[in-house]
Chains A and B, each alone.
Chain A
Amino acid sequence: MLSSRQAICIIVMFMFGSSVIMGVNTGVAQDSWICVLLAPFMALPMVLIYARIIKLFPEKDFFEIVEIVLGRIAGKIIVLLMSWYGLHLCALVLRNFAEFIGTSYMLETPQLVTLITMILVVVYMLYSGAVTLGKWCLVMLPILVFVVIITAILPAGKMDFTNLMPVLSHSAKRIAESTYQTFTFPYAETVLFLSLAGAVKKTVSPYKIYVYAIFIGTAILLLVVLRNILLMGPAVLGVEAFPSYVAVRIISIGDFIARVEGSIAMNLILAGIVKISVCLYAATKGTARLFGIANYRKILFPMSLSAVALSIIIYKSVMDMFAFVHIYTFYVIPFQIIIPLLIWIAAEIKVRREKPLKTAVPLTEE
C-alpha cells in the first residue's frame, strides 16, 4: 500500500513529467509565472473532487468506483474513455520524450529505439507494482528538486530581472486562457492518479495528498518558469521548443562547470518515467477492467507496445506536436472535468442512499 509521502511524490513527479522539457505555458512570455501562480487555485476545486472520490470509496481504484456508481453499461463506457485518455497521454509523453532526445542529443538514433528503451523501463516498473513506483518516486524526487535548485542558482549571475518587465503586459483574457492551459497541463492531468487510488492506504487522507502535491509541484514549476524567463527573456522563450534545455545551456562557471543541460535530460528521464508509468497503469488497469481480466500485468506488454505504436503515428512532425497543445486544452475537458464531476455527484448520491439502508438493517433484524 502507498503511504501519503509516496503518493505525494508520485503526483509531484507526474506533474513535473513533460513540463520540465516542454516548459509551462510559454504563450504569455514574461507573464507565464503569474499563470503558474494562478493555476493551482483554479485546479484546487477539481483536485479536491478527485480526492473526495477516493475518500468516498477507500482502497478502490477509479475504474472499480465507476462501475459501482454508474452500473455496468455506463460504467464500461466511462472506463473505455478513461483508458483511452491514459493510453493517449502515455503516447503523447512518450513522443515528447523521443522528440527531445532526437533533436537534442541522439540525432542519428531512430526514434523507435528511444521509445522502446523508455517503455521497457516503464513496463519493468509497473510489473513491480504501484508500491515500487511510490518508493522510487520517494528516492528520486529529492534528486530532481536538487537539480532544479542547482540549475536555478548556478546561473544567478546571468539572470536579467528586466526580462520580467513589463509585468501584466498581456490582457486579462489572454492570461486567463493561459492559466486554464496550465490547469489542463499539468494540474488536472493528475486525474489519472485516481487509477492508483486502490493502492493508497485507507488511513491516508487523499485531500492531504492532493493539496500538498499541488503546492509542492507549483513551487517547483514556478522556479523552473522564473529561471527560464530570467535567463532567456520573453522573445527567446516564445520561439524555443524546449526552453528549460536551452536556458540551462547558458550555465558555464569558469571552465569546469559547463554542459549542465545533461541534468535537464536526467530530470526528464526521472520524471518522464513516472508520468508514463501512471498513464500506462491507468490505460492497462482500465482495459483489464473493461474486459474482466483480473490481473492487469497479463496485458501490460501489448498495452505498452500499443502506446509506442500510437506515439509513432500521433504526430507527423514536431511542429504538429506543439500545434496540438492548443487543441489539447479543449480535448481534455471530458476526461479532466466532466467525467470526474459526474462520478463525484453519482458517488455522493450512492453513498448517501446506502447509509440509511445500512443503519436500517439492524433495526429490522431486531
Chain B
Amino acid sequence: MVMVIVILLYFFVIIFDFLPILKDRDKKQVFVYGLFLTASFCVLILFSFGIRCPGPSDQITAVVEKIFFSSK
C-alpha cells in the first residue's frame, strides 16, 4: 500500500511539476530537481519495501560526542 502511495505521488509530481520545468530548458534547475527527486524516491521506495537507509543522526551524534564529550 505504501509503495503504491509513493509511486502515485512521484508520478503526479513528475507530470504536474517536473515536466513544466523541463520545458524551461534550464539545465541547472533540472539537475537540482532531478537530484533531490531521485534521492528522496530511492529512500522512500526502499522504506516501502521495509529497508531503512542509514540516517545522519548516528554520524551527528558521533561528531558531537567527539567534540564535546571526548574528555569525559
Q: Are B61 and A327 in contact (CB under 8 A)?
A: yes
- Stretch of A54-62, A239-247, A299-307 lying at the B interface: A299-307
Chain B residues within 8 Å of A327, by CB: 57, 60-61, 64-65
Q: Is B28 at the interface (CB under 8 A from chain A)?
A: yes
Contact mask for chain B residues 7-28; partner A; CB cutoff 8 A; 1 contact, 0 none: 0011001000110010010101
Whether A330 contacts B68 in the complex (CB less than 8 A), given A299-B29, A324-B57, comes out as: yes
Of all chain A residues, the one with the shortest Cβ separation from B61 is A327
Interface size on B, residues (CB 8 A): 40
Q: Are B43 and A331 in contact (CB under 8 A)?
A: no
Of all chain B residues, the one with the shortest Cβ separation from A314 is B55
Q: Are B44 and A292 in contact (CB under 8 A)?
A: no
Q: Which one, B1, B13, B39, contacts A110 given CB within 8 A?
A: B1
Shortest distance from the beta carbon of B34 to any chain A beta carbon, whole Å: 8
Q: Are A112 and B28 in contact (CB under 8 A)?
A: no
Tell me the bound Cα distance from A299 to B40 in angstroms.
13
Interface size on A, residues (CB 8 A): 29
Q: Are B53 and A313 in contact (CB under 8 A)?
A: yes
Of all chain A residues, the one with the shortest Cβ separation from B60 is A331
Of all chain B residues, the one with the shortest Cβ separation from A315 is B57
Chain A residues within 8 Å of B26, by CB: 293
Chain B residues within 8 Å of A302, by CB: 13, 32-37, 40
Contact mask for chain B residues 35-72; partner A; CB cutoff 8 A; 1 contact, 0 none: 11101110110011000111111001100110110000
Q: Are A330 and B53 in contact (CB under 8 A)?
A: no
Q: Are A301 and B64 in contact (CB under 8 A)?
A: no
Contact mask for chain A residues 309-321; partner B; CB cutoff 8 A; 1 contact, 0 none: 1101111100010
Q: Are A291 and B56 in contact (CB under 8 A)?
A: no
Q: Is A287 at the interface (CB under 8 A from chain B)?
A: yes
Whether A112 contacts B29 in the complex (CB less than 8 A), given A309-B40, A309-B44, A316-B52, comes out as: no
Which residues of chain A from 321 to 337 have a CB within 8 Å of any chain B CB?
324, 327, 330-331
Q: Are B36 and A306 in contact (CB under 8 A)?
A: yes
Q: Are A306 and B29 in contact (CB under 8 A)?
A: no
Q: Is A308 at the interface (CB under 8 A from chain B)?
A: yes
Q: Are B55 and A313 in contact (CB under 8 A)?
A: yes
Q: Is A116 at the interface (CB under 8 A from chain B)?
A: yes
Contact mask for chain A residues 182-222; partner B; CB cutoff 8 A; 1 contact, 0 none: 00000000000000000000000000000000000000000
Tell me the bound Cα distance from A303 to B68 in angstroms.
31
Tell me the bound Cα distance from A302 to B18 in angstroms.
9
Tell me the bound Cα distance from A330 to B65 in angstroms.
9
Tell me the bound Cα distance from A87 to B41 in angstroms.
16
Chain B residues within 8 Å of A116, by CB: 5, 9
Q: Is A298 at the interface (CB under 8 A from chain B)?
A: yes
Q: Are B36 and A303 in contact (CB under 8 A)?
A: yes
Q: Is A113 at the interface (CB under 8 A from chain B)?
A: yes
Q: Are B44 and A312 in contact (CB under 8 A)?
A: yes
Shortest distance from the beta carbon of A173 to any chain B beta carbon, whole Å: 15
Whether A287 contacts B47 in the complex (CB less than 8 A), given A314-B57, A315-B57, A330-B68, comes out as: no
Of all chain A residues, the one with the shortest Cβ separation from B43 is A309
Whether A293 contacts B40 in the complex (CB less than 8 A), given A116-B5, A313-B52, comes out as: no
Chain A residues within 8 Å of B24, by CB: 298
Shortest distance from the beta carbon of A301 to any chain B beta carbon, whole Å: 5
Q: Are B13 and A305 in contact (CB under 8 A)?
A: yes
Chain B residues within 8 Å of A320, by CB: 57
Shortest distance from the beta carbon of A140 to any chain B beta carbon, whole Å: 27
The 8 closest A-B pairs by CB, nearest first: A302-B36, A309-B43, A313-B55, A309-B40, A305-B40, A302-B37, A306-B40, A314-B55
Listed in ascending order, the chain A residues whose CB lies under 8 Å from chain B are 88, 110, 112-113, 116, 287, 291-293, 298-299, 301-303, 305-306, 308-310, 312-316, 320, 324, 327, 330-331
